[in-house]
Amino acid sequence: MKRMQHSWGRYAVRVLAASVAALLLAGCASADGKREVRRESFPYWEKGAGASQAVKFMRVQVPKGAVEVKGAVRVQPQERVYLLSFLTDEKAAEAVADDLRPEHPLEAKNFSSSLSDDGFAHLDLDLPHEIPDVRSTSVCPPCVGDKRRSHIQGIEMHIEDRADGRARVYLTAY
């Protein structure tokens, strides 16, 4: 008798598991019974996202009088990468850099961009790592105690100084 109860219990568990699996599969089916699987191919560019989303995420101020303000958001499997670029005067570009509180001063150096890769090409801009004498720095906002940007893991900044006293600023954050 005890053995029969034990078998019956195993049978009930199997029936329950099969019922739950059927319900879960039914939730994945469309009204006509065909199973729908939606997969995004990564990375992709978020439609409609631009400079205003990047500014809001990075909590930076685009300097008054800046032109050619461009931005985009690249969606990756684990995170979003925000790109922002604008053309301003050199002093204003330096002020943006100071506001980020970078761990190292801006300096011209060879670098390999882990964040922006070819993202700025999406904005029809030169790639920062291909610009001669571009100055670069990076910051980990939580590491430097920047409470305004504690939600950001890292920001990379590049400044292209131009002969006319203006500078193109490139910012990438995630």
Residues 34 and 49 in one domain: no
Phi, psi of 60 (to 5 degrees): -115, 160
- Provide CB contacts within 8 A for 138, sequence distance 6+: 102, 103, 104, 154, 155, 156, 157
Cα–Cα distance for residue pair 134/107, rounded to 1 Å = 8
Which parts of the chain fold into alpha helices (H)? Answer: 2-27, 51-58, 90-100, 119-122
Domain count for the chain, please give it.
2
Do residues 54 and 10 share a domain? no
- Statement to judge: residues 115 and 29 lie in one domain: no
6-49 pLDDT, tens digit per residue, is 554 554 445 444 444 444 444 444 455 555 545 568 889 999 99
pLDDT single digits (tens) 52-64: 999 999 999 999 9
For 50, other C-beta atoms within 10 Å of its C-beta total 16
- Average pLDDT (92-105) is 94
Sheet holding 166-173, edge to edge: 44-45, 67-75, 80-89, 166-173, 155-161, 135-139, 107-108
- Does residue 72 share a domain with residue 7? no
Co-location of 4 and 83 in the same domain: no
- Give the contacts of 79 (CB within 8 A, at least 6 positions apart): 153, 174
11 and 75 within one domain: no
Question: Residue 2 above 60 pLDDT?
Answer: no
Tokens in use for 164? 């006319």
Give me the residues paired with residue 150 across strands.
none
- Whether residue 79 is predicted with pLDDT greater than 60 in this model: the reply is yes
- The pLDDT score that the predictor gives to residue 42 is 87
The confidence score (pLDDT) of residue 129 equals 86
Q: 29 and 69: one domain? A: no
94: nearest Cα among 159, 152, 148:
159
**Same-domain pairing of 25 and 59:** no
Confidence of residue 83 (pLDDT cuts 50, 70, 90): very high
Pair (22, 103) in one structural domain: no
Query: CA–CA separation, 155 vs 140, rounded Å?
Result: 6
* Residue 3 predicted with pLDDT over 80: no
pLDDT band of residue 117 (cuts 50, 70, 90) is low
Q: Is pLDDT larger for residue 40 or for residue 166?
A: 166
Domain span at 56 = 44-173
Q: Are residues 121 and 92 in the same domain?
A: yes
On whether both 25 and 89 belong to a single domain, the answer is: no
* pLDDT tens digits for range 137-161: 999 999 999 999 999 999 999 999 9
Residues 2 and 63 both lie in one domain: no
